[in-house]
Structure 1
Amino acid sequence: MASRLSQEEENYVRMSLLLTGISPRAARALFDREFAPKFLDSSLKREYNILKDLQKKRIINQSQWNLLFPRFPDVPDSKTFDITLIITLLRNLTNLNPPHGGYDRLPSANETTATSDLARIKYYRNFLAHLDEGKIDNTEFITAWDIVTDAIDRLGGQPMKQECNNLKVKILHQSNQEIILDIKRSNDEIMELKSQWLA
């Protein structure tokens, strides 16, 4: 790997860090408002039949199931849930209205509900998963960054928005090789996300 990333590669690294580091926490903030952490175990047990049906339909995989229903004495903790599982639970266990175009399309700019913000994050994670070369041109990056960080701001609040602002200008050092490796590992999760959204 070259010692210096191109601007397009740097854009990819920043977007990957945004979508795998900050956006899952923003989605979790919404999740924890819908499912109080203190009562998460009992909430999930109440919805066992719905969740079992989602597992049978392969919308929830075995590793996610183990997070929802860990072995005693462990209890479920939303901090262990990936964004795919968070969105699946919000979609299927809450009364939140879905975005106008559903969860699989990029919502219009004037739709600013929590579920439309989840759809934006999902859309750009899929976008990232389809990039084979690990590069994003500047125009696409600016558009995507603004859309995703606005969604993060609405879901997670001003401190997360500030993290996004810091990440956008942070100097990326040679540890980028490690970052790129982390991103490649995260892409496995993103590929799983694509298969999960057939619900």
Structure 2
Amino acid sequence: MSLTVEESNFLRFYFLNLKITPKAVRVYFDSIYPPAGLARELKNNETNLKRLWFITSPQRKILDPGSVNIVKSEQFDTTLMICLLRNMNPCKVVPAPSKGWDNLPQAANTGYTDDLARAKWYRNFVSHHEKGELSGKDFSQYWGDLEQAIGRLGGPSMHKEAQSAQHVILDTSLTDMLLELKNCEKSQQEQTDKINKAIDRLNTNKEELKNKFHQLNVSNQQWEAETQKQTKKLSDYKDTVNACAKDIETCEKDIKNNKEMIKELQDQSITKQNEIDNLITKIDKLKIRCEHHDKILKEHEEHLTKQDGQIDTCVKSIDDIKQKLHDTDNTSGKINFLFD
């Protein structure tokens, strides 16, 4: 059976993912979990690993081969190693890549977690690919991206091995084997990927819940601070109200005293007004009496005026008499005697 160029591209890229990528990931995995202590690490994390329900039964047998066989990372594929790196020892769990574990990182992101995400993404890509074909452009782009990640994870020797794999000769036996492996792994990988995506969603939800819980804690702390602030203000307001209440009480006492003083002044004013009224009455009576006295005085004056007229008349009469007596010789001596 002859292969098209696109099919050859796909099988070569599948070979890279199947044979070379796990070696590079294993170099990094062994740096985190050295082979000499791997069994101990797995034993210490046995409880934690049992909670990872998305680990399949074949994978659990690889992780716990029994007392006769010794567990080795060479038995782990790319998916299992990345799963352990993400979940086994909380103190050694690798951080999330720049775009998460289910997305292909951008070319500029070349950290080790991004390279692990590349290995995972391309592994899933070839497992889920329906047509089994890659165009020359996609083949060149994907191969270059994964080849560089393999070099960064596994070192120069792994980089050279990845470069050499691009020119592997696809004879009939290798082609049949790759196709058979692809078909066998497809269904299992799909289930594994679904489970991994589910756990990723759970982890994402967990992180979101953690963030929300953190935000709630922050909000709660802010509310507590605001409550303390408002309580302090309320306490200050109460002190102010109490002070105002005392001032109001003092003012009420002053108002009461002022009212008593005003009443006393009003009483005094009424008394003074009564006295003034009495004085006015007396003055009126005095006026009447004065008018009466003035009338009597006027009458006396008129009477005196009449008397003065009478006196003047009498004086004139006397003068006339005196004149007449003076003129009379016989009686002059007696008259003079009488008026000397």
Contact 2:128 2:186 in 1 (8 A): no
Partner of 2:159: 161
Partner of 1:73: 68
How far does residue 189 in structure 1 lie from its aligned partner after superposition? 5.1
Q: Which amino acid aligns with 2:58?
A: S
Cα distance 1:10–1:161, how it changes in 2: closer, same or farther (>3 A)? same
Between the aligned partners of 1:128 and 1:143, the Cα distance in structure 2 is 14
Cα distance 1:121–1:113, how it changes in 2: closer, same or farther (>3 A)? same
Question: Map of 1:110-189 to 2, 5 A cutoff?
Answer: 110-175=108-173, 176-188=175-187
Between the aligned partners of 1:101 and 1:80, the Cα distance in structure 2 is 29
Secondary structure (helix, strand or coil) at the match of 2:166 reads: helix
Where structure 2 has 5 or more consecutive residues not aligned to the other structure, the ranges are 200-340
Contact 2:127 2:185 in 1 (8 A): no
Once the two structures are overlaid, the 10-residue window that deviates more, 18-27 or 188-197, is 188-197
Across the aligned residues of Structure 1 and Structure 2, the Cα RMSD in angstroms comes to 1.7
Where structure 1 has 5 or more consecutive residues not aligned to the other structure, the ranges are none
For residues 14-60 of structure 1, the C-alpha deviation after alignment (integer angstroms, 9 at most, x for no partner) is: 01000111101111111111001001111111112211111xxx221
For residues 136-191 of structure 1, the C-alpha deviation after alignment (integer angstroms, 9 at most, x for no partner) is: 11111111101111111111111111111111123323332333323333435533
1 or 2, which has the higher helix percentage? 2
Cα distance 1:67–1:170, how it changes in 2: closer, same or farther (>3 A)? closer
How far does residue 124 in structure 1 lie from its aligned partner after superposition? 1.3
Q: How many residues align?
A: 194
Between the aligned partners of 1:18 and 1:120, the Cα distance in structure 2 is 13
How far does residue 192 in structure 1 lie from its aligned partner after superposition? 4.3
Computing the radius of gyration from Cα coordinates, the structure with the larger value is 2
How far does residue 115 in structure 1 lie from its aligned partner after superposition? 1.4
Secondary structure (helix, strand or coil) at the match of 1:95 reads: coil
Cα distance 1:20–1:51, how it changes in 2: closer, same or farther (>3 A)? same
Identity of aligned residues (%): 34
Contact 2:78 2:119 in 1 (8 A): no
Partner of 2:80: 85
* Superposition TM-score, scaled by structure 2 size: 0.54
Secondary structure (helix, strand or coil) at the match of 1:27 reads: helix
Partner of 1:37: 35
Partner of 1:46: 44
* Superposition TM-score, scaled by structure 1 size: 0.89
Q: Which amino acid aligns with 2:163?
A: N
Between the aligned partners of 1:193 and 1:151, the Cα distance in structure 2 is 23
Q: Which amino acid aligns with 1:44?
A: L
For residues 2-21 of structure 1, the C-alpha deviation after alignment (integer angstroms, 9 at most, x for no partner) is: 3x211100001101000111
How far does residue 195 in structure 1 lie from its aligned partner after superposition? 2.6
